[in-house]
Amino acid sequence: MRVVGFIGPSGTGKSHRSVWVARERGIDYIIDDGLLIKGNQIIAGTSAKKEKTKIGSIKCALFTNDDHANDVKRAVRENNPEAILILGTSDGMVEAIAKRLEFPEVSEKIYINEVATEFEIKQALSTRREQGKHVIPVPTFEIKKDFSGYFLDPLQIFRRKGKGSFQLVGEKSVVRPTFSYLGNYTISDYTIYQIVEYVATNIEGVNKVSRFRAENHPEGIYIEMDLVLVYGYCIRPLLREVQRKVIDEVERLTALNIKRLNITAKSLVLDNQKAPNVI
């Protein structure tokens, strides 16, 4: 297996350019911040950007945890790639990752200043320093399940085909990990309730939310709620519509995953006169 290193200081835009660098060299697999990536898919590993501290992030990127390293080694054996690109902040880091994952020696090294201008590197460093944004070179839908509660932004990459014409090359994801903040942020259950209540009661056939409960779990939130519906509407499709719209809006506004949303039609009213809601 041919092993290529892509090297540059943290925040200089390596992840942003990694897919292009790999494609230019006929490489299908990338090791970046604890993840094994092929094309638009995460094959194995755990993102270092999920760690709560910078030290934890570095350890994850170096695969110091045996289970983490073995997971990636197993996936590499199963996929048997001809070549792999390893991202790192230094020559030593790339070599350490290759050794830890029992890869052959690094045969080629590419440096960020060979593929990005000084202005582009300064711009990337400024974004990292001022906004704490990190790029993961896979589409947002691919990592969203693992980043519940983080702010996620899709970043679409285009290539000019001709005058006024662009081709979508791929999509990356921008995340702002916990360790990039000066502290933590939380979203209260009441905020989630307010969003849910607003969305649900604006759907025709729903009178009010009579009970609401939310539980936070590492993989996402579990919601249970009872609804009072208006008599005359078909209950099953109405509840499906509420479920779909509530999930879409909560995930869009908070970046939280709704892992489960259980809705019970508790009672019916004859008209749609709104009554006070109860949490």
Would residue 277 count as lying in a domain?
Answer: no
Specify whether 246 is located in the same domain as 207: yes
Would residue 164 count as lying in a domain?
Answer: yes
pLDDT for the residue numbered 187: 67
The values of phi and psi at residue 93, to 5°, are -65, -45
Last residue of a domain, one of 129, 152, 180: 180
Specify whether 95 is located in the same domain as 162: yes
pLDDT for the residue numbered 226: 95
Would residue 88 count as lying in a domain?
Answer: yes
pLDDT for the residue numbered 160: 46
**Which domain, by its residues, includes 173?**
2-180
Specify whether 29 is located in the same domain as 115: yes
Range 64-92 burial, b when 16+ CB lie within 10 A, else e: eeeebbebbbebbeeeebebbbbbbbeee
Would residue 262 count as lying in a domain?
Answer: yes
Specify whether 174 is located in the same domain as 206: no
Last residue of a domain, one of 141, 156, 180: 180
pLDDT for the residue numbered 156: 41
DSSP 3-state percent helix, strand, coil across the chain (nearest 5): 40, 30, 30
CA 32 distance to own-chain centroid = 14
Would residue 12 count as lying in a domain?
Answer: yes
User: In this structure, what CATH number is given to the domain that contains residue 231?
Assistant: 3.30.70.1350
Range 142-165 burial, b when 16+ CB lie within 10 A, else e: bbbebbbbbebeebebeeeeeeee
Would residue 276 count as lying in a domain?
Answer: no
List, as one string, the DSSP characters of 125-194: HHHHHHH--EEESS-HHHHGGG-TTS-EEEEEEEEEEETTEEEEEEEEEEE--GGGSSS-----HHHHHH
pLDDT for the residue numbered 111: 94
Pairing relationship of beta strands 220-230 and 206-217 according to DSSP bridges: antiparallel
DSSP assigned state of 49: G
Count: domains in the chain: 2
pLDDT for the residue numbered 199: 93
Taking only the tens of pLDDT, the chain with its 279 residues reads 999 999 998 888 887 788 888 888 899 999 988 889 887 778 888 887 777 777 888 898 999 999 999 999 999 999 999 999 999 999 999 999 999 999 999 999 999 999 888 888 887 777 666 555 555 454 444 444 555 444 444 444 444 445 544 444 444 445 555 545 444 555 677 788 888 999 999 999 999 999 998 887 766 788 999 999 999 999 999 999 999 999 988 877 776 778 889 999 999 998 755 544 444
pLDDT for the residue numbered 84: 95
Specify whether 214 is located in the same domain as 174: no
35 strand-pairing partners: 32, 45
Would residue 279 count as lying in a domain?
Answer: no
Would residue 138 count as lying in a domain?
Answer: yes
Taking the C-alpha atoms of residue 164 and residue 88, their distance in angstroms, rounded to an integer, is 36
Specify whether 17 is located in the same domain as 86: yes
Last residue of a domain, one of 158, 180, 202: 180
pLDDT for the residue numbered 148: 47
pLDDT for the residue numbered 76: 95
